[in-house]
Structure 1
Amino acid sequence: MDFKDVSSSRRAVNFFDPEKDVPETLLREVIALAARTPSGFNLQPWSLMVLRDPAEKKRLQALAWNQPRVSEAPVTLIFLADRDGWKKGHPFLERNFKEMVRAGGMTEDKYDWFTGACADLYGASDEKQQAFACKNTGFFAMSVMLAAKSLGLDTHPMDGFDHDGVRRAFHIPENYWIPMLLSVGYFREDQTLAPPKWRKSVDEIVVKFD
């Protein structure tokens, strides 16, 4: 499947086959493909919680407007956006800098510049921290959906849920925002797939301001 096919066939499906599982190897392949997503300064401020246990999915469903797809899909993912991912001393920031030095893209003497630039760009205000985390995790989430479709899986993203309730129920630390949930599985073939939704045209998307 080329990108045009993936993009045009990816849909937010409403019905998942609860009898058709997503093998762990396939899910890991999806995540590995999506891990190539670009991010600001390569900080990759995203993490995933993978829910397969029926009791856990039911607990999440109760906090997500009782949407059946949360528990019907074999896998539901909780996306986490790390608002601290830009901070000096954060393990992934430190790893990222070391890997850039190892690859020749940065030198050790640039450490203070690098951490200072990250702080200025992403940590200067609560608003910037939130934007940094959610923007980059949104890139990753879209990559997960496209990667899943390229490997024959269907998905449905959801932002209709009790954010604070999910945080408490799953013991999620305060530095993480939860941008979305994503059910992953296979469309239930005895259901009717809804027609594609309207999309803005190129001319409607491209704007300028005088």
Structure 2
Amino acid sequence: MDILSAVLERRSINFFEQNAEIPDDKIKEIISIANTAPSSFNMQPWEVIVVKGKEKKKILRECAMNQSKVEDASCVLIIIADPLSLEKNMELIFDKQIEYGYMKPEMKETYKKVALKLYGAKDSLDRVIFAVKNTALFAMNLMIVARGFGFETHPMDGFDSECIKDRFGISNTKIIPMIIALGYKQKGAELLKRPYRRPVDSFVTVI
């Protein structure tokens, strides 16, 4: 499937085929391709928990307003944004930038200082924005890639973040921007036409 078709065919599906498995290697392939998403300083501040087991999905459903698609989908991806990824990833990422020829060794310390100054203290709003906006790019990439492979998705923000963190052992320093149901559309389910979209001229200004 070409990229434009994947974008235009992606829909937020509410009715998933129950008991339809997606192999682990296929899920990891989708995530691996989605991992090419751009990120500030290439810090890649995202993590993913793939919830596949029936009991684990049942627990997640309890944290997600009892939405049936959490259990019906083949799996649900907990998308995590880590504001502390700068400290965790910086050494490795910048060393790889040097190895791949993107950065001169003598510039490494300068880049580290610039990144830390740009995104502020560990507990600052700037750090939260940094982590969430970059993780959102990854999440959108993931949904398009999934559609490219013929799967359906549904991003959700109707959930209790603290409940998910508690039940799935996620640090309170991390943020859960969304969870994404991934699977197959229920056989026989008909989709309505795509919901209304505002005309481009209503929100675009060319200057």
TM bin, normalised by shorter chain, reads: over 0.9
Partner of 1:180: 178
1:127 paired with 2:114, answer: no
Distance in 2 of aligned mates of 1:208 and 1:146: 27
Distance (Å, rounded) in 2 between the aligned partners of 1:52 and 1:206: 41
Distance, in Å, in 2 between the alignment partners of 1:162 and 1:18 is 24
Out of 116-125 and 21-30, give the one that drifted further: 116-125
How many residues align? The count is 206
Question: Once the two structures are superposed, what CA deviation does each residue of 1:135-176 show, in whole Å capped at 9, x if it has no partner?
Answer: 000000000000000000000000010011111111101221
Are 1:23 and 2:20 matched, yes or no? Answer: no
Partner of 2:53: 53
- Alignment gaps of 5+ in structure 2: none
TM-score scaled to structure 2, two decimals? Answer: 0.95
Where has structure 1 moved over 2 Å in runs of 4 or more?
none
User: Equivalents in 1 of 2:157, 2:180: separation in Å?
Assistant: 9
Distance in structure 1 (CA, Å) of the matches to 2:101 and 2:155: 38
Percent sequence identity is 34
User: What is the CA-CA distance between 1:112 and the residue it aligns to?
Assistant: 1.9
Aligned to 1:101: 98
Partner of 1:32: 32
Q: Deviations over 1:81-116 (max 9, x none)?
A: 0110122xx2x2111000011112112222221111
Superposition TM-score, scaled by structure 1 size: 0.94
User: 2: distance between equivalents of 1:118 and 1:189?
Assistant: 49
Partner in structure 2 of residue 43 of structure 1 = 43
Cα RMSD after superposing both structures: 1.4
Matches within 5 A, 1:115-194: 115-124=112-121, 126-194=124-192
Separation in structure 2 between the aligned mates of residue 121 and residue 208 of structure 1, nearest angstrom: 29
**Which whole-Å CA distance do the structure 2 matches of 1:93 and 1:139 have between them?**
19
